[in-house]
């Protein structure tokens, strides 16, 4: 099957913009969709534009909402598209607790709209999901066959989207690939997320907020490593399968803060304040990566190096 013209939703967001980078580096044409909400920035993709022009031969972007079917039909009526990679989503758990409706609109209704388009045009659909759909685990790691057990509103909507994808495959024979990523970090990540919050607090001479006792564990992966694995899966992996994307680098939140503070030569006790734990806060996420070993064709970025690159990027931001 021809795989040259990619539609990437959420293309101006954190991970989606890095996916655009990888696709363009490999000489694919990219059509980007982004609703340009607070979490997206045109600066993330402006290096792919020609003199600031939003439509060029190799890269185009439409500022559309994926949940509106007429928008997506317009895109497909005027462009030759070989597949859809869906990064578009509301992702911040705290935001989902404060107001959940937009999570249903983007993460569920938006996916259904894209699935209908993919079905009608008979092209494969690549859904970018999260390790949070498995819920928390105290020991061991989840495999792709593990039961989904989402424990917060965000992860519940991502799990719902996954079920829609597999239902379309079963009902309409829609070709798909599902990716469940561990916790991405790196340049372009929104400041509401954990690592940028640490760095922004330091930049602004504020105390770093740390939920609970700081013992919660997350599995970290540098965003450039993550999208490279995803690209390899899209190009080479068997279809109608689910893949955990992780490099198995688990760290306690309190230790992540200490790693960042070392780069600023700051004292932990002077820089951190413990705050009330978040509602529905999962203790530990952990997924194994046995299934993707053949698709890791590079030396992974050490966490300490990735943190340095993230700090350097955020220092340049106003």
CA 255 to chain centre: 23
Return the CA Rg of the chain.
19
On whether the CB atoms of residues 108 and 164 are closer than 8 A, the answer is yes
* Beta bridge partner(s), residue 178: 127, 242
Tokens of 85: 């990679």
Burial of 270 (0-12, 13-18, 19+ CB in 10 A): exposed
Cα gap 312→90, rounded to integer Å? 26
Q: Which residues are catalytic?
A: 131-132, 154
Burial of 129 (0-12, 13-18, 19+ CB in 10 A): buried
Cα gap 258→287, rounded to integer Å? 24
On whether the CB atoms of residues 248 and 219 are closer than 8 A, the answer is yes
Sheet with 83-86, edge to edge strand ranges:
59-62, 29-33, 5-9, 83-86, 125-130, 176-181, 241-245
């Amino acid at each position: 099957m021809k795989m040259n013209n990619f539609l990437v939703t959420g293309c101006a967001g954190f991970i989606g913009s890095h996916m655009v980078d990888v696709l363009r580096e490999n000489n694919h044409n990219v059509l980007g969709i982004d609703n340009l909400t607070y979490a997206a920035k045109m600066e993330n993709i402006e290096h792919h534009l020609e003199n600031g022009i939003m439509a060029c031969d190799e890269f185009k972007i439409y500022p559309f909402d994926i949940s509106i079917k007429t928008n997506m039909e317009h895109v497909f009526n005027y462009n030759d598209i070989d597949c859809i990679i869906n990064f578009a989503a509301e992702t911040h758990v705290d935001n989902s607790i404060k107001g959940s409706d937009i999570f249903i609109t983007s993460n569920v209704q938006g996916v259904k709209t894209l699935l209908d388009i993919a079905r009608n045009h008979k092209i494969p659909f690549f859904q970018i999901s999260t390790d949070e759909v498995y819920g928390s685990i105290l020991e061991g790691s989840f495999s792709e066959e593990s039961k989904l057990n989402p424990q917060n509103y965000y992860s519940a909507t991502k799990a719902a989207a996954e079920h829609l994808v597999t239902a379309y495959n079963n009902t309409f024979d829609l070709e798909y690939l599902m990716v469940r990523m561990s916790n991405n970090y790196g340049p372009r990540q929104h400041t509401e997320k954990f690592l940028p919050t640490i760095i922004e607090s330091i930049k602004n001479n504020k105390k770093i907020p740390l939920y609970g006792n700081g013992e919660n564990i997350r599995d970290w992966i540098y965003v450039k490593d993550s999208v490279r694995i995803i690209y390899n899966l899209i190009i080479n992996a068997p279809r109608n399968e689910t893949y955990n994307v992780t490099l198995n680098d688990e760290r306690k939140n309190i230790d992540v803060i200490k790693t960042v503070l070392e780069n600023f030569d700051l004292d932990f006790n002077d820089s951190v304040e413990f705050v009330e734990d978040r509602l529905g806060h999962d203790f530990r996420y952990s997924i194994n990566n046995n299934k993707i070993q053949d698709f890791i064709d590079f030396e992974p970025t050490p966490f300490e190096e990735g943190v340095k690159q993230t700090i350097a990027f955020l220092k340049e931001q106003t």
